[in-house]
Structure 1
Amino acid sequence: MPVLPGAEPYRHEGGEVGVLLCHGFTGSPQSMRPWAEYLAERGLSVSVPLLPGHGTRWQDMQLTTWHDWYAEVDRALRELLERCRTVFVFGLSMGGALTLRLAAQHGDAIRGIVLVNPGNKVHGLAAYALPVARHLVPSTKGIASDIAKEGVAEVGYDRVPLHAAHSLRRFFRTVDAQLPQVTQPVVLLHSPQDHVVPPVDSARILSRISSTDVKEVLLEQSYHVATLDHDAERIFDESLAFVERLAPDLVDGKGSRSGG
């Protein structure tokens, strides 16, 4: 299947600081593209992979599980680690959960992580119905484009495939059990008004990780897809300041690659 316009993966060969950006469930790299380009313009190496089953049609997701999604970000991370001296991982929504698992699995190989409205649990009665419902109903209403900003849309599916949602539920449980293994510096930015992931998910993540260098930021003007919303620039600026603080020898004051 052809990839939806705007949903293509993105890569930029920059300096010795690399950033992997992970998009969300039923979303695409489009939700991360402005963030990625902001970092690329400041000299960083950037990778935004397209997760398997995403960016085409929702039926394609029915054939994939969290193992496929995680394998793709793990592959992209290993590529960055081969060509960069210092690597960070940033994630939105389910991409935040992918980021947390990468952090738990790879340890000190990842210098720091940035999470935006990270998911931790499938909530509500629907979660308990998924094991059976997925065999009876192929999909339900989509979750894309939860954005406060007028005229902005997310390139994502208008349906949620239930087989994939069931796998997502299992993945969240797996990641939750691994949260104490996360020790890297963390910036977590979340929206009080989020119609997809409730604030309780961010609170649980912050309570369970073992990181001691942690910053929490509220995104008061945005909904779930905050990377495309009113607070996008704040997310970008906070993440760059985070990188500059943790890799000062590789990034100069403007974010570009330092000499030598």
Structure 2
Amino acid sequence: MSVRTGALLIHGLGGTQFDLGSMHKVLQRAGVETHAVTLPGHGSQPEDLVPVSYEDWLDTVTASYRELAPQYDTFHVMGMCLGSLLALALCERVQHSKGKLVTLAPPVFIDGWSTPWYRQLRHLVYCIPGMASRMKVEEDEPFGIKNATVRAIVKAKFARGDNFHYRWVPLACIRQVDRLRKKVLAGAQRITCPTLVVHAREDELTSLKSAEFLQAALPDVRVVVLENSYHMICIDNDREQVTNSVLEFFGYPPVPPRRVRGADKA
């Protein structure tokens, strides 16, 4: 009887599976059956995020996990950005032990180089009734991407109105991310499964402090630091290093190296 391996992949805030680049395809080629989940409030329009809580997101990924995990001998959990926070919270909630956990660019702390000095003032805005629902947090350059060619592609997608990522999210949604971050900070030490953390040194949203926290809090953790990417690590200059780090962590051979189009060191 064949051994089945599956994986649940969770996208980022305002995003889609595009956030994970070629991860689904790469894992499927290695023999892993991948499953995508669309988080509540996503896949339609940004306004739909206003009433959504982090509990809604977590309940959705938990339901997917509980449906899928029993079908496999080994079942992994992976998330990108917000998805990585949800993956952490999920693995704590279900005491995941059927496979491994991968967190890609986990924003345990929102303290990257592009976050403004007044970022903490958002907590005051949360206290003003209705304000967080009306305020928009825009996606803007560099769009989390260091590679100039890929960044231009993403900019063109936004200009065309392609439905691959929201152009903005309500501040109310950031409040839910902040609530989820607190949950992860409080519960990370209760996660027991082997964990991989992949984080860019130059991540403009979240500094290496996030990776360092997880390295200290989790009992079985491996950290990979990328040297030539911003936040969207699955589609940026180090994307092959990201996929190969995941493949190695899961026990599969790496994909052959190839020249990265448009890679830049600037």
Q: TM-score, normalised by structure 1?
A: 0.82
The 5 A counterparts of 1:137-148 are 138-143=134-139, 145-148=143-146
Verify the 8 A CA contact 1:87 1:111 in the aligned structure 2.
yes
Bigger shift: residues 184-193 or 127-136: 127-136
Mapped partners of 1:134, 1:41: distance in 2: 49
Aligned match of 1:24? 12
Aligned residue identity for 2:223: E
What SS does the corresponding residue of 1:221 show, helix, strand or coil? coil
**1:83–1:33 CA distance, 2 compared to 1 (3 A):** farther
Aligned residue identity for 1:148: K
Aligned match of 2:225? 218
Verify the 8 A CA contact 1:18 1:46 in the aligned structure 2.
yes
Aligned match of 2:75? 87
Where does structure 2 lack aligned partners over 5 or more consecutive residues?
A: 112-118, 158-163, 256-266
Aligned residue identity for 1:141: V
The 5 A counterparts of 1:137-176 are 138-143=134-139, 145-152=143-150, 153=154, 155-176=164-185
1:28-73: per-residue Cα shift (whole Å, max 9, x none)?
2111241111111222110111111012211011121111111121
How far 1:134 moved relative to its partner? 6.6
What SS does the corresponding residue of 1:147 show, helix, strand or coil? coil
What SS does the corresponding residue of 1:226 show, helix, strand or coil? coil
Mapped partners of 1:254, 1:96: distance in 2: 22
Q: TM-score, normalised by structure 2?
A: 0.80
Mapped partners of 2:254, 2:245: distance in 1: 13
How far 1:228 moved relative to its partner? 1.0
CA RMSD of aligned residues (A): 2.3
1:227 aligned to 202, 227, 234, which one?
A: 234
1:141-193: per-residue Cα shift (whole Å, max 9, x none)?
33473111223228322222122211221111112111110111111110111
Aligned match of 2:213? 204
How far 1:19 moved relative to its partner? 1.0
For these two proteins, the number of residue pairs brought into alignment is 233
Aligned match of 2:131? 136
Verify the 8 A CA contact 2:3 2:73 in the aligned structure 1.
no
Mapped partners of 1:89, 1:25: distance in 2: 17
Where does structure 1 lack aligned partners over 5 or more consecutive residues?
A: 1-13, 245-250, 256-260
The 5 A counterparts of 1:183-202 are 183-202=192-211
Mapped partners of 1:147, 1:171: distance in 2: 24
**1:15–1:27 CA distance, 2 compared to 1 (3 A):** farther
How far 1:132 moved relative to its partner? 2.6
